[in-house]
Amino acid sequence: MVSQYGIKLAAYLISSSYGDFCSKVCECLLSRGTLTLAQIIRFTELSRENVINCLRVLIHQNCVQAFSIQQEVAFGEAPKIVTQYMVLFDNTIHKMRFPKFMQIVSEELGKDCLGIFEGLLQHGRLSLNQIIDRNMQTPDNSDVHAVQESFSRLLNACFVERCPAPEPFLAPPEEETPAKKRGTKSAKIAEAPKTIEQRALETAAPMESIRFLMEIDTLSGASEEKGMESHNIATLEEKWKQDFSDAELSSSGKKKEILWRVNFEEFVRRLRHKACIEYVRIRLSDQAGIVLSAILELTRSSETRLKTDKSASMSINDIYDEVIKKDGGLGMDLERVRASLVQLGCQIPTTGIDETYSIDLKNIIELAQNEEVESVVLKRYGREAYRIFRLLTKSGRLLETDKISDTTFVEKKDTLKILYKLWKDGYLHMEKVSVNGPKQALFLLWEVNKESLWVCVLDEMHHAALNLRLRITYEQDQEKEILQLPTEKLVGELEKRYKRLRKVRIILESSLMNLDDALMLFHDF
Amino acid sequence: MSRTLETSSLKRKRPEADPLGLVDNERAILNAIKSKKDLGIWVRDIKQETKLTDHVVNKSLKSLLTRKLIKEVVNIQNKGKKHYMAVEFEPSKEVSGGVWYVDGNLDKELVNILKQLCLRCIRVQKVATLERVYEDLKKQRVVNFEISSQQVSEILNSMVLDNEIIEVKSTGLSEYYSIPIGTVCYRFDSGPGVARGSKIGAFASIPCGACPRISLCTPDGIISPSTCVYYTKWLNIDF
């Protein structure tokens, strides 16, 4: 479930771009979970027409995914198929970080690809023909082949992907064959059961083999998607007619052209790598940053899931060959590369036969997260609290008050005060232990409960991000007359106010982008 | 003759008969205090054990103090309660708080002096093991007690917690060449970003990160981003 301020931030971002009705529908789905059309209408108290329009916009902008399931009915009745709508929280928050995605595309692929990419960000989904048409309308338009070439480069870099199925059908879990069940029994015990939303996303996703492939064209988007059986299509179309009239049907369901959208997963992966490299560069050395950058460049395409714990193993020679291509890497020799690998936590193998290395990315992310929270503790509670919090984070277990006081060199009476304050604000977990003996003694034990604390910290970050956005809007509102004046009239006091507004916007917007790095550190990486 | 002797045996023992010249009450109280050795004993516990009246106990304690047979000690666990100990004992760590405590308070000056000495040693050596720092401190003879390796380790650990130094394991390469691989050592954090002062987290760099009222702040409330005084102050600073 998304936390309170995560919901508020998402609702605000949708409202800024698509209006209050869409924001209301989005907030409803975030607060209440996956719902049917009827339920959304009931909870939002909007008209049926408004809700349908909002869902169309949100689906088109990749913030909502529809899917259908078989509803349980009484014995003897024909099976009823119901459409449900789930919100995609991550994609909603990504709207805040479009400038970062654009910078990656601009740096790697250049201006032409950036133009196409911007269109996809703005419109949510486009077919190749729509991309070409859009390009024709720009002043410095390129010919069709050039546009196709740029689009192809975006696909090869996995920055763009085929859109998912508009409304996949989820077969009921009981329909699995007995043989299949037996074979996967042990695997099932190890894995947590998938939620209906996870199943919907998996079923909707295009197969990996065609996800970034431009050549294959399909007659109907529905028939090629995995998990769809032909007899369900008729049922589905019947279902759509119940929910949407012919005129209202989502364009992605009817059109025969393939629709493309931004592949957010790839950008999150790039930003994750960038965060690890930056952390290592600041904490260890520039050279360690270069070596890590080289390894991640080599292993990126082999990452099967986003939050990979360790990078794939690479040989020292492959790493070296990539390092010397990087800025500042040409002067590094094998020994310096090895020294950087050791700084990154690797061990030099004793035999020289199979010298391969893999980097623990999860550890780097955790260290960065710890530092972020420690920074907040230092600012809010002071240096002694910072020492105490770091001790408890490092030890990872319950410690008694006196032990904490002794190790951190904080006066015993002050230690207890600080611990209570941190506990009251949710940073620490406390346990009381009473010992029966000649004298009854009560001991207080303390530890950092990372799981619950990280959730609180993330919610506060969402809150802070929303605050920054609201303050930007407020500052602009305050000076809206000045923004409407032509430049030549901005003199004297007006010029001073204009300059102040510009400075304030830079501070707030750059702080928001920095805070977003921390947000991603806790939510996406 | 015998009657005189009997009469005298019935009389209270003359003070000269006790080796220290103590009367019965004083002896009883001294024994109670000595029995607690280096833990000390609270006045009320003395009264409970000896079953003597307040007046008698207080008078006896005054006498024992004057004769320098007992001393008053501060118990770090209960600073407000008067504790007494026989003079031949030194308060245990439980009572005194250890070598870092003086009269029940943390000896911050001592801790700071030792920290500065450790930092100087690490600055000179670039990378130092606990042993090297300990040897260096012993040579300097700054403190008037026998400092132990354990105590130096405690000082170094607290500086690691303060992020003044970092704890690393020797790789045997470069600056670690003289230190066996895997040995714990201490050094300054030498990352390029550290020198540039970029250690503050992104969240802590904005007013909301340090704000004690964030839980009360709402978009349209009395405390809100548009009315926030911390934001106003922050935005008016000359960057």
Please give the mean pLDDT across all residues of chain A: 85
Contacts of A516 (CB under 8 A, 6+ apart): A96, A97, A100, A465
> Smallest Cβ distance to A406: which of B98, B200, B209?
B98
Integer angstrom CA distances of residue A133 from A137, A142, B123: 7, 11, 66
Q: From the candidates B48, B111, B206, B217, which should be mutated to test the interface with A, based on the most A CB atoms within 10 A?
A: B206
pLDDT in tens, B24-73: 888 888 888 888 888 888 888 888 888 888 888 888 888 888 888 888 88
| Closest CA–CA distance from residue B191 to any residue of chain A (Å) | 5
Q: Which chain A residue is nearest to residue B109, measuring alpha carbons?
A: A409
Tell me, what DSSP letter sits at residue A207? P
pLDDT of A50 above 90: yes
B187, β-bridge pairs? B127, B166
Whole-number Å distance between alpha carbons of A459 and A479: 31
Q: Which amino acid is at A187?
A: A
Structure tokens at A443: 């001991």
Q: From the candidates A280, A348, A409, A424, which should be mutated to test the interface with B, based on the most B CB atoms within 10 A?
A: A409
Signed CA dihedral, B127, B171, B155, B210: sign only: positive
A426, exposed or middle or buried, with CB in 10 Å at 0-12, 13-18, 19+? middle
What ipTM does this complex have? 0.82
pLDDT in tens, A462-472: 999 999 999 99
Integer angstrom CA distances of residue A20 from A17, A33, A121, A396: 9, 19, 20, 45
Measured between beta carbons, the chain B residues lying within 8 angstroms of A8 are: 219
Cross-chain Cβ contact A339/B173 below 8 Å: yes
pLDDT of B9 above 60: no
Find the largest Cα–Cα distance for chain B: 105
A268, exposed or middle or buried, with CB in 10 Å at 0-12, 13-18, 19+? buried
Please give the mean pLDDT across all residues of chain B: 81
Helices A450-478 and A492-523 sit at what angle, rounded to 10 degrees?
A: 160
| Cα-to-chain-centroid distance, residue B102 | 7
Of A518, A269, A515, nearest to A369 (Cα)? A518
Measured between beta carbons, the chain A residues lying within 8 angstroms of B105 are: 411
Q: What is the full DSSP assignment across B138-174?
A: HHHT-SSS---HHHHHHHHHHHHHTTSSEEEE--SSG
Q: Which helix (H) or strand (E) holds A66?
A: strand A64-71
Cross-chain Cβ contact A412/B228 below 8 Å: no
Tell me how crowded residue A98 is: count the other CB atoms within 10 A of its CB.
15
Give the lowest-confidence range in A109-113, A398-402, B100-104: B100-104
Of B84, B207, B135, nearest to A470 (Cα)? B207
Residue pair A225/A168 in contact by the 8 Å Cβ criterion:
yes
A87, β-bridge pairs? A64
Q: Which amino acid is at A71?
A: Q
Q: pTM to 2 decimals?
A: 0.81
